[in-house]
Amino acid sequence: MTRYIFVVGGVISGVGKGVATASIAKILQGKGFRVTAVKIDPYVNVDAGTLNPLEHGEVFVTDDGTECDQDIGNYERFLNENLSSVNYMTTGGVYYSVIMRERNLGYGGKTVQVVPHIPQEVIDRIEKAGKEHKADFVLIEVGGTVGEYENLLFLEAARMMKLATPKQVLVVLVSYLPIPESVGEMKTKPTQHAARALNTAGLQPDIILARAKVPVDEPRKSKIATFTNVAVEDVISAPDVDSIYEIPLNFEKDRLGNRILKKFGLRESKRDLKDWTKFVESSKKAGKAVRIGIVGKYFEIGDFTLTDSYLSVIEAIKHAAWQLKRKPEITWLSAEHYEKDRKFLKELERFDGIIVPGGFGSRGAEGKIRAIEYCRTRRIPFFGLCFGLQLAVIEFARNVVGIKGATSGEFNEKAKDKVIDVMPEQKTLLEKKKYGASMRLGAYEAQLKKGTIAYEAYKKTMISERHRHRYEVNDTYRDALIENGMVVSGVNPIKNLVEIIELKGHPFFVGTQFHPELKSRPLTPHPLFLAFLQAAGRGRKK
Ligand code: GLN
Q: Cα of 32 to ligand 1 centre, how many Å? A: 40
Distance 76 CA to ligand 1 centre (A): 23
| Separation of CA 205 and ligand 1 centre (Å) | 42
- Ligand 1 atom closest to 420 (CA): 10
What is the secondary structure of 158-226 as a DSSP string?
HHHHHHH-GGGEEEEEEEE----TTTTS---HHHHHHHHHHHHTT---SEEEEEESSPPPHHHHHHHHH
Cβ of 368 below 6 Å from ligand 1: no
DSSP letter at 333 equals E
| Ligand 1 and 17: CB distance under 6 A | no
Sign of CA dihedral 421, 425, 426, 431: positive
Q: How far apart are the first and last CA of the chain?
A: 63
Query: Catalytic pick from 386, 465, 499, 502?
Result: 386
Q: Are 306 and 337 in contact (CB under 8 A)?
A: no
Mean per-residue pLDDT of the chain: 94
Quick: pLDDT tens for 342-366: 999 999 999 999 999 999 999 999 9
> For the whole model, what pTM was predicted?
0.95
Atom of ligand 1 nearest to the CA of 439: 4
Strand (E) positions, 317-388?
327-334, 353-356, 382-385
Is 233 part of the annotated catalytic residue set?
no
Catalytic residue among 117, 133, 469, 515: 515
What pLDDT sits at residue 119?
96
Q: Which segment, 289-298, 436-445, 528-537, is predicted with the most confidence on average?
A: 528-537
Which phi-psi region, left, alpha or beta, contains residue 386 (left: φ > 0; alpha: ψ -120 to 50)?
A: left
Atom of ligand 1 nearest to the CA of 467: 9
For helices 91-103 and 114-132, what crossing angle results, to 10°?
Answer: 110
How far is residue 139's CA from residue 133's CA, in Å, rounded to a whole number? 12
pLDDT tens by residue, 87-130: 999 999 999 999 999 999 999 999 999 999 999 999 999 999 99
Q: Which CATH number fits domain 286-423+472-489+497-537: 3.20.20.70, 3.40.50.880, 1.10.3720.10, 3.40.1280.10?
A: 3.40.50.880
* Nearest CA, atom 5, ligand 1: 387
Residues 6+ apart with CB under 8 A from 9: 15, 17, 142, 143, 144, 145, 146, 173, 174, 175
pLDDT score at 14: 80
What residues does each domain of the chain span? 3-280, 286-423+472-489+497-537
Confidence of residue 301 (pLDDT cuts 50, 70, 90): low
Q: Check if the beta carbon of residue 24 is closer than 8 Å to that of residue 16.
A: no
Q: Which residues contact residue 340 at a Cβ distance below 8 angstroms, ignoring those fewer than 6 apart?
A: none
Q: How far is the CA of 293 from the centre of ligand 1 (A)?
A: 20
| SS3 category, 534 | helix
Report how far apart, in Å, the C-alpha atoms of 236 and of each of 3, 4, 9, 110 are.
Answer: 21, 19, 14, 45
Residue 517 known to be catalytic: yes
Residue 298 has pLDDT above 90, yes or no: no
How confident is the model over 182-208, as pLDDT tens digits? 989 999 999 999 999 999 999 999 999
Give the span between the Cα atoms of 22 and 37, in whole angstroms.
Answer: 8
Alpha helices for 16-151 (secondary structure H):
17-30, 53-56, 70-79, 91-103, 114-132
Candidate of 470, 498, 513 to mutate for ligand 1, largest count of ligand atoms within 8 Å of Cβ: 470
- Residue 469 Cβ inside 6 Å of ligand 1? The answer reads yes
pLDDT digits (tens, 9 = 90+) for 6-15: 999 998 888 8
In CATH, what number does 3-280 get? 3.40.50.300
Q: Is the CB of 409 under 6 A from ligand 1?
A: no
CA of 513 to the centre of ligand 1 (A): 8
Distance CA 72, CA 408 (A): 31
CA of 410, closest atom in ligand 1: 1
Res 17 pLDDT > 90 = yes
Residue 162 contacts by C-beta under 8 Å, 6 or more apart in sequence?
Answer: 169, 171, 203
* Nearest CA owner, ligand 1 atom 6: 469
Using the mean position of ligand 1's atoms as its centre, give its distance from the Cα of residue 444 in Å: 15
pLDDT over 70 at 305, yes or no: no
Is 353:535 a contact under the CB 8 Å cutoff?
A: yes
**In angstroms, rounded to a whole number, what is the distance separating the alpha carbons of residues 408 and 413?**
8
User: pLDDT digits over 364-384, tens only?
Assistant: 999 999 999 999 999 999 999
Torsions phi, psi of 213, nearest 5?
-65, -40
Residue 410 CB less than 6 A away from ligand 1: yes
- Decide if 3-280 and 286-423+472-489+497-537 have a common fold: yes
Calculate mean pLDDT across residues 224-243: 93
Q: What percent of the chain has pLDDT over 90?
A: 87
Confidence tier at 508 by pLDDT (50, 70, 90): very high
- The answer, yes or no, to whether any atom of ligand 1 lies below 6 A from the CB of 472, is no
